[in-house]
Amino acid sequence: MRAALLAATALVAMAGACGKSVTTPSHRERDTSRDGGCSDPGKPHAYFYAAEDRTHYTPDDPFKDGCALLVADHLFCCPAAPRPTDR
């Protein structure tokens, strides 16, 4: 009985270790499928920016990057200027 319990515990632990971890992105993330919503030729690319409270963006700041808010879900249209941390 004890061996079966230990084996079951080990299986559960291994399954948890193999699963994908859900993490909040810390840098802006490109969404090429939404580029069509960016009508300003100077800001042709769509990005999501990480914001803990949907107001304060960190470490990337869409306003410092020259971006404009596209829609209420915090998708920004940005200039074609890639950053080394882009995903």
- Residue 68 reports pLDDT greater than 70: yes
- Domain contains 48: yes
- Domain contains 74: yes
- Domain contains 7: no
The C-alpha atoms of residue 39 and residue 27 are separated, in whole angstroms, by 23
- Domain contains 3: no
pTM above 0.85, yes or no: no
Give the DSSP letter string of 19-87.
SPP-----S-EE-GGGGGG---TT--EEEE--BSSSS-B-SS-TTTTT-EEEETTTEEEE-S---TT--
First and final C-alpha spacing in the chain = 49
What pLDDT, in 10s, does the model give residues 7-23?
444 444 444 444 444 55
Residue 39: give the domain boundaries.
Answer: 23-87
